[in-house]
Structure 1
């Protein structure tokens, strides 16, 4: 075997060994599903509802300040009017920030034993945006309410 043919063959093998893992990783990246931190608002709602319609309702009451002085700690309270009986209750309350990098802020799962469909928390907002509450009912429907919050400090406003 000549030195040139050996070096050509060795070069081809080295190039293949270097490129194959990158090609395999590119195929895996194409199949990758967006995680919760990579979802936009529409995808997050679709993931929660499974494609079912979202109905704005007066039964869902969201309390958040109209103007937040600090976007890092914005208080949010959600109440859903429901008898919380075995046949009619709120299964979950989801709080979303429509323009955050991480849209889903909180997910709370309830049972009739809770007695009241109420949840309060503090969320981080990266700027002025809508805070949305989605209530998943025991009959499979999804009710919602939203509140626009203007962030003046600590966000992009």
Structure 2
């Protein structure tokens, strides 16, 4: 579906009116903007939604299998020990749509999330953490086998 300039302006105007009227909150408007990252077809485009460059961090731990026998359900756990973690973004580099998940972390809670991702092939899992208005990242390679025969 091609989005024309006119439909984009209509959507933006509608968001502005709802925001001004107090029908939706600023957080809901920002979340709707972040969701547009799910439509990005390249990792570069998906990362643009975050609005900045992420610095490498050893305070982000990604736990996923080194070799996944079934690419349809790859378990991934992300644990951030960065203070004031606000959001965790998970990207699967070689998927047709790289942005796989967004988690919003409430204040004063443990910054650990678990999910299952679909991976079409061996690839890097990239995690970006937003904390204190800054972006941090870490990645881990996961190999996906065909038919569970090994790597």
TM above 0.5, yes or no, is yes
Matched, 1:46 2:40: no
Answer whether contact 2:85 2:105 (CA < 8 A) is retained.
Answer: yes
Task: Give 5+ residue unaligned stretches, structure 2.
Answer: 9-35
Q: Structure 1 runs of 4+ off > 6 angstroms?
A: none
Kindly state the Cα deviation for residue 38 of structure 1 after the two structures are TM-superposed: 3.8
Picking from 104, 108, 125, the partner of 1:109 is 104
Answer whether contact 2:75 2:115 (CA < 8 A) is retained.
Answer: yes
Distance between the aligned counterparts of 2:2 and 2:82, measured in 1? 48
Give the equivalent residue in structure 2 for 1:99.
Answer: 94
- Using the size of structure 1 for normalisation, the TM-score is 0.68
Picking from 123, 139, 142, the partner of 1:146 is 139
2:71 counterpart SS class:
coil
Kindly state the Cα deviation for residue 55 of structure 1 after the two structures are TM-superposed: 0.7
Kindly state the Cα deviation for residue 35 of structure 1 after the two structures are TM-superposed: 6.4
Greater Rg over alpha carbons, structure: 1
Answer whether contact 1:62 1:147 (CA < 8 A) is retained.
Answer: yes
Kindly state the Cα deviation for residue 102 of structure 1 after the two structures are TM-superposed: 1.6
Q: How many positions carry a matched residue from both structures?
A: 121
Task: Give 5+ residue unaligned stretches, structure 1.
Answer: 1-24, 84-88
What's the CA shift string for 1:61-110, capped at 9, x where partnerless? 11111110000000000000134xxxxx1010011000101211110001
Give the equivalent residue in structure 2 for 1:7.
Answer: none
